[in-house]
Amino acid sequence: MNSRVWVLKSALLAMAVFLLICFPRRGAAAPRPASNSVVINLKAPTTPFPHYWERMFGSGRAVLAMRASYLRDLREVKQATGFDYVRFHGILNHGVGVFHLNAQGQPVYNFSYVDQIYDGLLARGVRPFVELSFMPPALSATPVVHQSFWYHPVVSPPKSWALWDELIQHLARHLIARYGIAEVSKWYFEVWNEPNLDFWAGDPKQATYFDLYDHTARALKEVSPLLRVGGPATAQSAWVPAFLDHVAKDHVPVDFVSTHIYGEDPPKNVFGADEKIPITKMVCMAASKVHKEVKDSPLPNLPIFYTEYNATFHLPRLGIEVTFVDGTDAEEIAAAVAFLASEPARYITGAVLQPHVDALPSLSRSQDSRQGHDVVAGYTCAIARRCRHRADLVPCRGYFRSIAGICPIQGKRVGVGPTRRSGN
């Protein structure tokens, strides 16, 4: 067959299939979804409904907070949820310009962009959950190692611990001078991000990260004992027992434990065994593990902050549908975990507000208990929440980003996004 004729026939066939799919015959009605009934017993005992989606969101890197679109989103999500804190990478990145060395090799500090970033948050009623990362290039040991995010943050250890300590102290003093210790003492300072992955180039990773943590925590506490610091900010819920043993043994200041988990994290890395753990169970199982590790540690009363979590960290899979757990385990974990980081609705999809964020204002107006719920055909779900003088039925088909991972409601939902391990 003539190749041009074959190409033409193939194109016509493809066009015909396209037209049949996109423009079906008028007589072919789409099947109507089956109707379901949801029965709520308003006299049944209530169960806890902690509003952990109102605590903290995660959102990319620090310089994004100087964008008008970011600040608009921040205000809208704040109005919807009343959330308290936001966490992002890279307050020490080169683009923020906090540190360089002059011609004489002396440190020069510039916190003008830091001020713009934090001023914008505070003006909208949101406090920073400060992730102290990454390494200013002028302070990096050689060779300079860059992480794989498209903006390539420097993840090398400092070339001088004295210079690092001075940077942390200058930053802390500047923040206190600008905002007052009464304000900054309500913030949290998390040392680095996921040092067990390629975000930290120290060798060996754990021992050198502990050095980084020790220097940072002690530098902050020298400025004020009221500043709150914690770690290890690990991926895959790793290093928590070793970290707590280390800080207890060496009397290093620590005010909280932070770590991360994603549904697709390898079970061997999280639990040390080749188990088959479905994505629907990973987040809650990892949170239970860390809760027990802290409880069994020399510092059993430290709060636990999951500063990143999600069903997936693979951007091509953000459209997957995931069913999350319900019941006692979820409620117990939610009570045990102080903060869960989520992500405002627009940061993945641009200017289009996600439909599922419409549920946020409704849920945030609810009290801290729920009347009951019913899972309908494993596909849609609803809860009856107590709101002042009445009970409302809240459907959650589609759901929303800011409650993910550990969920006190069971149901199938589309879109998973509170945080993601990606460079934006």
Check the CA dihedral 170-83-231-151 and report its sign. negative
- Check residue 79 and give its pLDDT: 84
- Check residue 91 and give its pLDDT: 98
Read off the pTM. 0.76
- Check residue 121 and give its pLDDT: 97
- Check residue 333 and give its pLDDT: 40
- Check residue 204 and give its pLDDT: 97
- Check residue 76 and give its pLDDT: 83
Supply 371's token pair. Answer: 């009347």
- Check residue 380 and give its pLDDT: 30
Q: How many CA atoms lie within 13 A of 105 on its CB side?
A: 2
Length of the chain, in residues: 424
Tell me the three state secondary structure of residue 117.
Answer: helix
- Check residue 311 and give its pLDDT: 66
- Candidates 317, 329, 323; CA nearest to 417 is 317
Give DSSP secondary structure letters for 47-107. EE---GGGTEEEEEEGGGGGSHHHHHHHHHHHHHH---EEEEE-TTSGGGT-EEE-TTS-E
Structural contact between residues 203 and 119, judged by C-beta atoms closer than 8 angstroms: no
- Check residue 257 and give its pLDDT: 95
Distance, CA of 196 to CA of 345 (rounded, Å): 28
- How many CB atoms neighbour CB 6 within 10 A? 10
- Check residue 264 and give its pLDDT: 86
- Candidates 243, 196, 233, 408; CA nearest to 308 is 233
Tell me the three state secondary structure of residue 376.
Answer: strand
Residues of the chain with pLDDT under 50: 3-24, 315-356, 373-422
Which residue shows structure tokens 């940077």?
A: 167
Distance, CA of 344 to CA of 155 (rounded, Å): 26
Structural contact between residues 217 and 253, judged by C-beta atoms closer than 8 angstroms: yes
Distance, CA of 70 to CA of 117 (rounded, Å): 11
Supply 246's token pair. Answer: 């280390």
E runs forming strands in 304-363: 304-310, 321-323, 337-342
- Check residue 149 and give its pLDDT: 87
- Check residue 57 and give its pLDDT: 82
- Check residue 424 and give its pLDDT: 52
Structural contact between residues 287 and 325, judged by C-beta atoms closer than 8 angstroms: no
Name, in order, each residue with C-beta under 8 angstroms of 115's C-beta and a sequence gap of 6 or more.
178
Q: Chain centroid to CA 79: how far?
A: 19
Active site residues: 194, 308
Sorted by where each starts, the structural domains of the chain and their CATH numbers stand as: 50-355 (3.20.20.80)
- Check residue 319 and give its pLDDT: 39
Helix-helix angle 240-249:205-223, to 10 degrees: 50
Supply 320's token pair. Answer: 């997957």
Do β-strands 99-101 and 127-132 pair in parallel, antiparallel, or remain unpaired?
unpaired
Name, in order, each residue with C-beta under 8 angstroms of 174's C-beta and a sequence gap of 6 or more.
109, 111, 114
SS3 of 129-185: EEEECCCCHHHECCCCCECCCCCCCECCCECCHHHHHHHHHHHHHHHHHHHCHHHHC
Alpha-carbon distances, residue 209 vs 7, 215, 235 (angstroms): 59, 10, 13
